Amino acid sequence: MLTGEFRAVTRNSPVTFYYGPDEPRGIDYELAKGYADRLGVELKMYVADQFWQIFPDIDSGKAHVGAAGLSITEPRRELVEFGPPYQSIQQQIIYRSGTGRPREISDLLGGRLEILAGSAYVNGLENARIEEPMLAWIENPNDSIDELVRRVAAGEIDYTIVDSNEYELLRHAHPDARVAFSLGAETPIAWALPKTTDNSLSESIAAYFAELRATGELDEIIERYYFHAETDFDYVDTKTFIRHFHTRLPTYRDFFVRAGAESDVDWRLLAAMAYQESHWDPQAVSPTGVRGMMMLTIPTAQMIGVDDRTDPLESILGGGIYFRRVMKKIPERILDPDRTWFALAAYNVGFGHVEDARIITESQDDNPDSWEAVRERLPLLSDPGWYEHLSRGFARGLEPVHYVDNIRRYYEILLWMTSEEFVREEPPESRQIVELSSG
C-alpha cells in the first residue's frame, strides 16, 4: 500500500489535466486527487514531456499510475495492467470543414495525416493499413492533441485522430474541425498500473472506482466537464465566440481581471457572463432598455454606484460587485459549483424567482439545494398552474436555464483556452508537478 505520496503521470488536455484559475482541473486530476485523499497521502501529479514516456515512467516506478485518459489496447496490455474502465471512446478522424469530408480510409490517401506519437492511434492505423497498404501518417512527438486539432482547423495539416470524448470538448474551441468517420470499435479507457505480483494497489484502486460508481460521484465528475459539450453545438455561435475571443476580449481583459480581484470572482466567469449579456460590446442595448457590457438595469446601476452603464470598466466592475451580492444571498450550505449556478440564475431572473423554483422542487420531494433539480423546475415559473400560487408570481423560467447553460459553456471554453497561458506564466518546475496535501 502507498505511504506518504501517490504519484500519477498525466498529459495536458481538457479531459485529463490542465491548470484552472486557481487549481488544476480535469477528470483524471479529480479522480487522482480523490484517491490520494481517500488514502490520506499527498498527490504528486506531473505532465509527461512526451506522451510515449507515460508507460516507461509506470514501468520504472517513477509513477504509481498513468492517469491520462488511456485507452485499453492489447499492445498496451503487454506493458501495463489497467484499472477499472471509467469511460469509453472511439478514435475519430478529424478534417477541416469545407475541404470535402473523407468517408473511409482510402479517402485519406494523399493527404497529410499527423497523429500523437506513441498513442493508440498508431495501432488503429496499422490495422487499417492491412486493407490500404499505401496509407501513411506522421507521428508527431511535439504537438498535443489540442494543437493537432487546431492545425487541422487552420488548414496546416489535412487530418488527425482524436478520441471522441476529447473532441467533444475541443470542438467548441476549434469549430472548423469536424469528424469525418470513426476508426475501429469503441474502446474503454482506464488508469494504467505497473505489472507486478503485488495486487494491493490494483485492488485498492478497484475498490475506489467501485465506490465512486455506487455513490454516483464518478458520473458527477464526468458531467462537470462534459456539460457544455452535451448542449446543442451551434457552429455559428461558437465560431463567433472564438473570433471575439481573439478580437474583442483582449481590449477588456484587464478590466475583467481587475473586477475579478475586487469581487473575488474568477475573471473568466465574469467574462463569460459579459459575453452572454453583450458579446463584449460596451454599447449593447436590449429591447427592455438594459445596456452596457454587463447589461445593467438603471436601478441596479444606481444601487452599485455605476454612473455610465456604457463605460466598459464601470459596467464590468459593477457587474462583479452585483454578482458578489447575489452570491451572498445563496444559502451557505449550498456548495460550488451549484452555488455559482444558482447565483447566475438569480443574476438573470431575480433571487426571489429562484427561491420559488426551489420551493417547487422541495414540494416535489427533490433536493432544492441541487442546481440540476431546480433547473428542471424553473420553466414551471411560467406555468399558471404554478405561478398563481407563488409569492413572486410569473417569471420566464426558461430564460435563466438557457442563461446558465450558455455561461457554463463559455466559461469552460475560456478556462481551457487560457489554461496554456497560465502554464507559460509559471516557472517550469511548478507547471510540471502538482503537490497537494490531502484535505
Is the pLDDT at 327 greater than 50? The verdict is: yes
Q: Is residue 127 part of a domain?
A: yes
Of 295, 175, 178, which is closest to residue 240 (Cα–Cα)? 175
Distant-in-sequence, close-in-space partners of 284: CB < 8 Å, separation ≥ 6: 277, 278, 291, 292, 293, 295
Q: Are residues 401 and 292 in the same domain?
A: yes
Structural domain that includes position 116: 88-185
Active site residue: 277, 314, 355, 412, which one?
A: 277
Q: Is residue 152 part of a domain?
A: yes
- Residue 385 is predicted with a pLDDT of 82
Q: Which three cell numbers stand for residue 58?
A: 509506470
Q: Are residues 93 and 73 in the same domain?
A: no
Q: What is the total count of domains within the chain?
A: 3
Q: Are residues 47 and 169 in the same domain?
A: no
Q: Are residues 56 and 99 in the same domain?
A: no
DSSP letters for 251-297: HHHHHHHHHHHHHTS-HHHHHHHHHHHHSS-TT-B-TTS-BTTTTB-
- Residue 20 is predicted with a pLDDT of 62
pTM of the model: 0.67
Which DSSP state fits 381? G
Which parts of 48-95 fold into alpha helices (H)? 54-60, 74-77
Name the strand (E) or helix (H) holding 29: helix 27-39
Q: Is residue 381 part of a domain?
A: yes
Q: Are residues 72 and 92 in the same domain?
A: no
Mean pLDDT on 377-401? 86
Q: Are residues 305 and 277 in the same domain?
A: yes
Report d(CA 334, CA 301) in Å as an integer: 28
Q: Are residues 47 and 103 in the same domain?
A: no
Confidence of residue 25 (pLDDT cuts 50, 70, 90): confident
Q: Is residue 301 part of a domain?
A: yes
Q: Is residue 232 part of a domain?
A: no
Task: Give the CA dihedral 197, 198, 200, 205, nearest 10 degrees.
Answer: -50
Helix (H, G, I), strand (E, B) or coil at 182: strand
Task: Give the CA dihedral 311, 316, 317, 319, nearest 10 degrees.
Answer: 120
Residue 39 phi/psi, 5-degree rounding, is -85, -15
Q: Is residue 233 part of a domain?
A: no
Note the pLDDT tens digit of each residue in 141-167: 988 888 899 899 999 999 999 999 889
Q: Is residue 231 part of a domain?
A: no
- The yes-or-no answer on residue 421 being catalytic is no
Q: Are residues 211 and 247 in the same domain?
A: no
